[in-house]
A and B are shown apart, each in its own frame.
Chain A
Amino acid sequence: MAEATLLISSKNYSSWSLRGWLMTRMSGLPFEFVARLVAAGVDAVPSYRYIPEDGRAAEARLQEAVRLANADAAIVTRLVRVEKRTNVSRAIFNRLRPSVSAYMTAPPPPGSVTMSRRASTSTTCTSRRRACTR
């Protein structure tokens, strides 16, 4: 059965309220990145050593951290957007906006409402002082 999609855009109940939850759950990302890079033979350190505070770091703060770490390059991952979608089956739509004839002939078939989340993440690799190539 075809489904209609409603995009909930309220800051209180959708993406903005999910951002904090997702960011908290994604806090293991730097550790995983460092572990994977070290395994690949790269000297990598997590940013919290130089930027201990939470929240989004300003560009100048990032550059200062890279300088203090004496790093050749920086890998930055940002959570760009989180969407929360409510998928409503056609049967539910019919029930919400019933026509008289539909009610008179037969009850609508059972429908369903399902929720889904979609997160967009961006990662950049920036070179500081020389090429990152081997």
Chain B
Amino acid sequence: MKNNQLVWTGTAQTRDPRNIDKEIKRYVDTVTTTLEKRHLLASR
């Protein structure tokens, strides 16, 4: 794989986030779960 190669990108839309902290957790969970499913996270 070449240097600085884009391996994944995603866009999300959030409407009226009432609780930003909860929304951040939800967003992070969505992204990391997706990366895990696609085997894009390397273990230690």
Which residues of chain A have a CB within 8 Å of any CB of chain B?
22, 25-26, 28-29, 32-33, 36-37, 40-43, 63, 72-73, 75, 77, 80, 116-134
Scoring B residues 1 to 22 as 1 if CB is less than 8 Å from chain A, else 0, what string do you get? 1011111111111111100110
Instruction: Find out whether the CB atom of B3 lies under 8 angstroms from the CB atom of A128.
Output: yes
CB distance from A118 to the nearest CB of B (A): 5
Q: Which of B20-35 contact A (CB under 8 A)?
A: 20-21, 24-25, 27-29, 31-32, 35
Q: Main secondary structure on chain B at its contact with chain A?
A: mixed
Instruction: Find out whether the CB atom of A43 lies under 8 angstroms from the CB atom of B14.
Output: no
Instruction: Find out whether the CB atom of A128 lies under 8 angstroms from the CB atom of B14.
Output: no
Count how many chain B residues have C-beta atoms less than 8 Å from C-beta atoms of the other chain.
Answer: 33
Q: Main secondary structure on chain A at its contact with chain B?
A: mixed
Instruction: Find out whether the CB atom of B42 lies under 8 angstroms from the CB atom of A26.
Output: no
Q: Which residue of A lies closest to B30 (CB)?
A: A123
Instruction: Find out whether the CB atom of B11 lies under 8 angstroms from the CB atom of A132.
Output: no
Instruction: Find out whether the CB atom of A28 lies under 8 angstroms from the CB atom of B21.
Output: yes
Instruction: Find out whether the CB atom of B24 lies under 8 angstroms from the CB atom of A26.
Output: yes
- Known contacts being A118-B14, A125-B7, is A32 close to B25, with CB within 8 Å? yes
